[in-house]
């Protein structure tokens, strides 16, 4: 509108102009047009979330060893492979080779341990040879620079935008506590990183006012969680990481009972809790977690067979 003036980050917009823009978006959604939101591939979770919107910052949190990276990689692979949208994975903990092996295990249903050891069965070789072309076509970029900063992630987003004409639909950051803040004060660094990621998600890509990315940043939870009887993540577990909870548009907690209890009847099951959603409901869903494929999957007869609730698929 005539009263829109570009400033450093935001814009001043007259309400009548803003109403027009808002109504356009509502109408597009009503008519089923593409608003840029994408699903995660975990059906029950998508029913709560209604898709991940561009321009939003999501935090997925869990204790160490519960499967945060596996969760993020399953969503990343779904967005890149099933939806064909560009995805950028920033890993400060695992190398590119390790991540590729994880994606091969979960997407091709190849035992992750045999990929690491090299002792690969004939059936797995078959799955690798038939599935590699599908993986090779995925618009998925991986950066394993362990000193990643908000600025280096922004540079990668802009580079992908120039390469394919659209920014990544999803950026995975694994994980925020490993990011380089630069000030030396951990609390201050995390607050700056959190704010930086929020701004990065919300800011239009240069040259296209409508193109934004969604960021899924993983967060480690403090050890205190292990000291209480119920070890499911709660919002207050993020509060030590100060700004993350406030800056995030949504927070997901990941919990697997079989990490803590041997012989539980929840073996091979995971709980994903929507602990916060700025524009939607909260709630908890169950899905399957197939440990030898490090894969989160929808509950159904195939997944139930994988986790041993019935015969081998």
Q: Which residues are catalytic?
A: 93
What are 182-189's contacts with CB under 8 Å, separation 24+?
182/149, 187/242
User: CB of 271 within 8 A of CB of 286?
Assistant: yes
Using DSSP's 3-state secondary structure scheme, residue 301 falls into helix
DSSP 54: T
DSSP 82: I
85/82 Cα distance (integer angstroms): 8
To the nearest 5 percent, what fractions of the chain are helix, strand and coil? 45, 20, 35
202/213 Cα distance (integer angstroms): 7
Using DSSP's 3-state secondary structure scheme, residue 205 falls into strand
189: Cα within 13 Å, side-chain hemisphere: 13
Cis bond upstream, residue 284 (ω within 30): no
Backbone angles phi, psi at 295, to 5 degrees: -125, 130
User: CB of 234 within 8 A of CB of 249?
Assistant: no
In which element (H, E) is residue 68 found?
helix 68-77
């Amino acid at each position: 509108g005539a009263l829109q003036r570009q400033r450093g980050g935001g814009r001043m917009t007259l309400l009548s102009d803003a109403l027009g823009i808002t109504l356009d978006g509502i109408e597009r959604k009503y008519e089923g047009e593409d608003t840029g939101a994408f699903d995660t591939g975990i059906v029950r979770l998508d029913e709560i979330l209604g898709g991940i919107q561009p321009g939003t910052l999501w935090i997925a949190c869990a204790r160490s060893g519960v499967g945060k990276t596996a969760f993020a990689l399953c969503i990343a692979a779904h967005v890149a492979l099933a939806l064909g949208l560009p995805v950028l994975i920033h890993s400060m903990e695992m190398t590119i080779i390790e991540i590729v092996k994880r994606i091969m295990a979960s997407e091709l249903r190849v035992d992750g341990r045999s990929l690491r050891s090299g002792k690969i069965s004939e059936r797995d070789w078959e799955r690798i040879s038939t599935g590699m072309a599908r993986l090779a076509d995925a618009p998925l970029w991986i950066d394993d620079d362990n000193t990643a900063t908000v600025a280096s992630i922004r540079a990668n987003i802009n580079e992908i935008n120039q390469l394919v004409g659209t920014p990544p639909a999803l950026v995975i950051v694994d994980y925020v506590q490993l990011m380089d803040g630069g000030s030396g004060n951990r609390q201050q660094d995390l607050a700056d990183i959190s704010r930086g990621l929020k701004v990065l998600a919300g800011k239009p890509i240069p040259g296209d006012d409508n193109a934004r990315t969604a960021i899924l940043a993983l967060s480690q939870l403090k050890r205190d969680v292990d000291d209480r009887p119920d070890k499911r993540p709660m919002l207050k577990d993020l509060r030590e990481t100060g700004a993350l909870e406030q800056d995030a548009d949504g927070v997901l907690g990941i919990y697997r009972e079989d990490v803590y209890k041997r012989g539980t009847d929840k073996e091979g099951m995971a709980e994903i809790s929507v602990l916060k959603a700025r524009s939607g409901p909260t709630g908890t869903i169950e899905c399957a977690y197939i440990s030898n494929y490090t894969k989160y999957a929808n509950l159904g007869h195939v997944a139930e067979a994988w986790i041993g609730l019935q015969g081998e698929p």
